[in-house]
Amino acid sequence: MEYALEISNLVKNYSDFLLDNVNLKLPKGSIMGFIGENGAGKSTTIKAILNIIKKDSGEIRILGMNASDPENEIQIKQQVGVVFDENHFHDLLNAKGVNRFMNKIYPNWNQELFFQYIKKFQIPENKFIKEFSRGMKMKFNISVALAHEPKLLLLDEATSGLDPVVRNEILDVFLDFIQDEEHSILISSHITSDLERICDYITFVHEGKIILSKTKDELLENFHIFHCSKESLTELDSSIIRGIHENRFACDVLIELEPNMLEQYKNYIIDRVSLEDIMLYYGKEQLL
């Protein structure tokens, strides 16, 4: 399998936070959702990928190129599109101004494509960025990221704070983007329902460590919520328990088990999981 992004043993140590030996592989032609609680290390990982922060150790390969090798810097910049949850352009620029500016910087800047997105997202060409709504700014940043025809898109909370209609529109653009098998996306988001809709893979970072990295289908098939009494909790094999929510009388338990093994747990009430459930239960695990 060919990978758009390969992270091996990435370590970044801040005084009170450790990004601890992160490993992640994003196959070409796919979308990976990067989930985790606030402060889990998602942005730190994305910044390390982009060399915005200096990693302590580990290797990052983007489209097969070593991201730390200065010789690859220009190639990587041209082939990676980035959207953060903030605006990086001067407030007194408009779409036409940004187009002129980007056209000088990126040899593969596609003006026609840029204005197609601007039109599709209904962004007025002459309006200053400072007059944009939050949704307009995000759509504008996404148009810019796509217009230099990148092969890999890195999106850090690129749809946060947007209404469902706008998010839907943007998710469709991301799905269109990866139709070409050469294109791939790593997207961090707290809106797990969006990720369930578009992602092929999910990677879950918790307190600086990757605790899950699987296909979305595998995750949703192999994780279940068991509802049971506190007494019957003790009868469960602890090796399949991934998290427990207890109330005064009963327990809800996150279980990892292949669907064909569920037969032996007929006495339990079993529910399907969402990505949000998986996050909530794993996050709670250490409180037990």
Ligand X SMILES: Nc1ncnc2c1ncn2[C@@H]1O[C@H](COP(=O)(O)OP(=O)(O)OP(=O)(O)O)[C@@H](O)[C@H]1O
Chain residues in the site for ligand X (CB under 6 A)? 14, 17, 36, 38-44
Shortest reach from residue 253's CB to ligand X, in Å: 26
Nearer to ligand X, 36 or 243 (CB): 36
CA dihedral 259, 261, 263, 265 (to 10 degrees): -100
Of 47 and 151, the one with the shorter C-beta distance to ligand X is: 47
C-beta of 35 vs 95, nearer to ligand X: 35
Closest contact distance (angstroms) between CB of 56 and ligand X is 13
Strands 65-66 and 57-62: antiparallel
Q: Based on CB atoms, which residue is closest to ligand X, 84 or 265? A: 84
Cα–Cα distance, 235 to 244 (Å, whole number): 14
Query: What is the nearest approach in angstroms of ligand X to the Cβ of residue 190?
Result: 6
> Is there a contact between 31 and 178 (Cβ–Cβ < 8 Å)?
yes
Measured CA to CA in angstroms, residue 287 lies from 236, 282, 283 at distances of: 19, 10, 8
Beta-strand relationship, 65-66 and 209-215: unpaired
Q: Please give the angle made by the CA atoms of 129, 131 and 134, to the nearest 5 degrees.
A: 80
| Least distance between ligand X and beta carbon 92 (Å) | 28
In the complex, minimum distance from the CB of residue 109 to ligand X, in angstroms, rounded to a whole number:
29
Nearer to ligand X, 41 or 81 (CB): 41
